[in-house]
């Protein structure tokens, strides 16, 4: 009879014999190459890498394998993690709206008082607002935009005049300049801006 690499793999009692009976392979509870994986004393399988052969993943994925590497419970075990748990850990918030049109989030925003001393009342992704002159300011992003073709929208809060105009210009990925004026005169106001990209 031809030898196919399995020698005495089945004992005389008809039960499977030790993995060392498989030709050129030995049992191992560690991540050792060219061995037959067996459970260790804790019942765990130790491996260096899990590799799958599917070209694409399924559209109904409910879990992802992850490692607990944070805090006192850190270890090297890969466990199924629910997607909701992963989203919470990453601080991800869903943006939902009715209809089929896509939703796009604001990439930077600020509420600031123009003047000799600029006062930023609240902001997101804004590093600084620099006064160039009356009614002329440079807004600098904390994290750059992916391109310079973003949209800047604004609301002006002013007690005098009712013909205020906001004009963004000189847009780059890291900053833009904005003007606030009424008629042909520049002026300082409370400005509320939002950037979409």
pLDDT in tens, 143-186: 999 999 999 999 998 888 888 999 999 999 999 999 999 988 99
Mean pLDDT of the chain: 81
Residue (of 173, 161, 167) closest to 191 by Cα position? 167
Determine, yes or no, domain membership for 158: yes
0.85 surpassed by pTM? no
Determine, yes or no, domain membership for 82: no
Is the Cβ–Cβ distance between 151 and 194 less than 8 Å?
Answer: no
Whether residue 15 has pLDDT greater than 70 = no
Name the strand (E) or helix (H) holding 192. strand 190-196
Determine, yes or no, domain membership for 33: yes
Determine, yes or no, domain membership for 25: yes
The total number of structural domains that make up the chain: 2
Residue (of 93, 88, 120) closest to 106 by Cα position? 93
Determine, yes or no, domain membership for 142: yes
190 and 115 in one domain? Answer: yes
116 and 34 in one domain? Answer: no
Name which residue leads in pLDDT, 192 or 96: 192
Determine, yes or no, domain membership for 114: yes
Name which residue leads in pLDDT, 14 or 132: 132
Residue (of 88, 102, 108) closest to 154 by Cα position? 108
Determine, yes or no, domain membership for 126: yes
The range of the structural domain enclosing residue 16 comes to: 7-41
Residue (of 168, 172, 111, 176) closest to 147 by Cα position? 172
pLDDT in the model for residue 170: 96
Number of H helices, E strands in the chain: 1, 13
CATH value at residue 190:
2.60.40
Determine, yes or no, domain membership for 123: yes
Q: What is the rounded distance in angstroms from the CA atom of residue 26 to the CA atom of residue 149?
A: 61
C-alpha pair distances (Å), 142 with each of 79, 92, 102, 128: 36, 20, 26, 8
- CA triple 26-27-31, angle to 5 deg: 105
Q: What is the rounded distance in angstroms from the CA atom of residue 78 to the CA atom of residue 41?
A: 18
């Amino acid at each position: 009879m031809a030898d196919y690499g399995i020698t005495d793999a089945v004992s005389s009692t008809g039960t499977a014999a030790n993995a060392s009976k498989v030709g050129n392979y030995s049992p191992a509870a560690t991540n050792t190459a060219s061995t037959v994986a067996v459970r260790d004393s804790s019942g765990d399988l130790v491996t260096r890498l899990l590799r799958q052969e599917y070209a694409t993943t399924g559209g109904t994925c409910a879990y992802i394998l992850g490692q607990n590497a944070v805090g006192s419970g850190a270890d090297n075990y890969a466990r199924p993690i629910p997607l909701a748990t992963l989203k919470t850990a990453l601080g991800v918030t869903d943006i939902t709206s009715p209809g089929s049109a896509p939703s796009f989030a604001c990439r930077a925003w600020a509420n600031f008082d123009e003047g000799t001393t600029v006062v930023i009342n609240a902001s997101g992704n804004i590093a600084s607002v620099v006064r160039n002159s009356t009614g002329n300011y440079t807004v600098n992003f904390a994290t750059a935009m992916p391109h310079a073709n973003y949209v800047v929208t604004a609301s002006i809060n002013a007690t005098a005049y009712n013909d205020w105009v906001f004009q963004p210009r000189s847009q780059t990925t890291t900053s833009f300049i904005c003007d606030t004026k009424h008629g042909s005169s520049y002026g300082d106001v409370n400005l509320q801006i939002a950037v979409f990209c």
